[in-house]
Amino acid sequence: MNDMSSHKDEYLDRKIKKRWSLSKQSIKSRILDSLSSLKMKTESMNRIHTPTAPLDPNIIEGYALNDPEVLSVELRNAHTVMSLCRLKLLQYHHILEKVVPPNDAQAQQALTGIHELSSLLNTKKTTNTGINIDPAYEAGERLDSSTPHRTKPNSPINENELTRKPSVDMTVFKHVAIPISENLKAYLRGKTKIEDRRVQIWSKAAIGQYLWSHILNGSLEVVNNGFYQNGNVSISGMTFDYFSGPGYIQTTLPQNVRYLILVLNGRTSEHSLKALEWLEYLYRLQALRKLAVILLGNEGCEDDWIVKHLKSKGGIIDVLFIVYDSPLVDDEEVFQWPLGVATWLPNETEESLNKYINILSRSFLTLSPAGKNPECYRLYEAISLGSVPVVVMEPPQGRCVNPPLRLLFRYNAPIIKLSSWDEAIRLLAKTNLDLPITSVELLAWYASFKKQIATALINKIEHKFFNPF
């Protein structure tokens, strides 16, 4: 029984080994067949695709790298993509600039960056070889070699120019689904040029508040008890952003300002030194393109320190407005500016201020003797309250031109001019005083005067900043 069992086990063992041997041979054979077949296919493919001649590295997929037709197609495709990207960026800029706060320096810098990128994507703008393009001169605008804004006086001036050609073709609008304003379309056609007509006003003198509140009639937001004073007003297609207060110094104001009106105090030598610091700092602002300065000048009209900063002298100031009868006024580059009412109140209480206002309001005449200069705050304060000023036409001090009060009389100011104070005494002694104008008419004249000054300012800024030719 045991022998039969043993033979059976041996038989099964031989059978299993035989089958395993056949299986191994079969697997090995199949692997070898597969490898052989793969080798044959590989050799066949190599025979078919291996060229008899060496490959030309300048030919890719059957096309020559320098084939004009291929290059033309690739350029058209690249231009289309760049044009669409530029269009999108301009649209985003057009939308965002309406809602971005003017005092948000980082957001304003981002807007400038968007505009710079759009300039880089201008597919039809060409530049001369070797020109170092200032990124501040974005949107295809030209750098006028006669306007060395970032060059200090007596320094070498970069004579290179950036040329501007028409923007992308309007066919790109066929691929754009979102609506586009007509002005933006015109800009992209190259038929018209949209300027960023946003002008900042940095006020570092009290006459800045007279400019803002009385001439431009701008609103004013006072923050932190006057530490920051901000405003915004749109006039004649231009937007003016006002910055004032001790919280604003050179480095806390928007560094990407392009169009600027800077209000400075140059009444004394100490004030002039501080004003110079501001002017010197502006040469660092790479984005700055146009600058107007409104200067509270010296009462003796000794303001020669600012001359070297005028554009005609190689400086940064495109147009200067100066208080008092300065000999610098030429009505071309330098214009006279009114002193206006006092907007600062040193040692003034609310009670004394109200008393002063009531006295002027109830007075038909206001005597205004000249101090260092015949033009004083009292003249404008009396007029603004309906009281006719009385002045003696005395020769001015220093370098001021004679006769004085040139600006006021140019606008036919209803001021009583006398040759001496003895004549004033005789005038006041009269029982029946014949006034040249009524209080109502005087107030109307003053309102008209301020409006004309505002119009003149706007026209000068328009001409000097945006239409220089």
Cα–Cα distance measured from residue 124 to residue 132, given in angstroms and rounded to the nearest whole number: 18
Contacts of residue 214, defined as CB under 8 A and 6 or more positions apart, other chains included, come to 340, 341, 450
The pLDDT, as a whole number, for residue 268 is 95
Distance between CA atoms of 218 and 239, rounded to whole angstroms? 11
N-to-C CA span, the chain = 127
pLDDT for residue 111? 77
Query: Which pLDDT value is given to residue 173?
Result: 36
The pLDDT value given to residue 10: 63
pLDDT of residue 140: 32
Rounded-to-integer distance, Cα 8 and Cα 11, Å: 5
Successive 10-residue mean pLDDT values, the chain, 469 residues: 55 56 57 61 50 51 57 70 76 77 75 73 47 30 38 43 37 38 43 66 96 96 91 95 95 95 97 96 95 97 97 96 98 97 78 91 92 93 95 92 95 94 87 83 96 97 86
pLDDT of residue 106: 75
Q: pLDDT at position 37, please?
A: 60
At 190, list the tokens: 């190259």
What are 63-70's contacts with CB under 8 Å, separation 24+? none
Q: Which residues, 6 or more positions from 136, have their beta carbon under 8 angstroms from its beta carbon?
A: 112, 116, 256, 258, 286, 287, 288, 289
Q: Do the beta carbons of residue 416 and residue 389 sit within 8 Å?
A: yes
pLDDT recorded at residue 253: 95
**Tens digits of residue pLDDT in 185-225:** 443 444 334 447 999 999 999 999 999 999 999 999 999 88
The residue type of 209 is Q
Show the 3-state SS of the chain.
CHHHHHHHHHHHHHHHHHHHHHHHHHHHHHHHHHHHHHHHHHHHHHHHHCCCCCCCCCEECCEECCCHHHHHHHHHHHHHHHHHHHHHHHHHHHHHCCCCCCCCHHHHHHHHHHHHHHHHCCCCCCCCCCCCCCCCCCCCCCCCCCCCCCCCCCCCCCCCCCCCCCCCCHHHHHHCCCCCCHHHHHHHHCCCCCCCCEEEEEECCCHHHHHHHHHCCCCCEEECCCCEEEEEEEECCEEEEEEECCCCCCCCCCCCCCEEEEEEECCCHHHHHHHHHHHHHHCCCCCCCEEEEEEECCCCCCCHHHHHHEHHHCCCECEEEEECCCCCCCCCCEEEECCCCCCCCCCCCHHHHHHHHHHHHCCCEEECCCCCCCCCHHHHHHHHCCCEEEEECCCCCCCCCCCCCHHHHHCCCCCEEECCHHHHHHHHHCCCCCCCCCHHHHHHHHHHHHHHHHHHHHHHHHHHHHCCC
Residue type, 250: Q
For residues 240 and 150, what is the distance between their CA atoms, to the nearest angstrom? Answer: 23
Measured CA to CA in angstroms, residue 149 lies from 255, 292, 317 at distances of 14, 12, 8
State the sign of the Cα–Cα–Cα–Cα dihedral 380, 382, 387, 393. Answer: negative
The structure's pTM equals 0.61
Phi, psi of 240 (to 5 degrees): -110, 125
**Pairwise CA distance, residues 426 & 231, whole Å:** 48
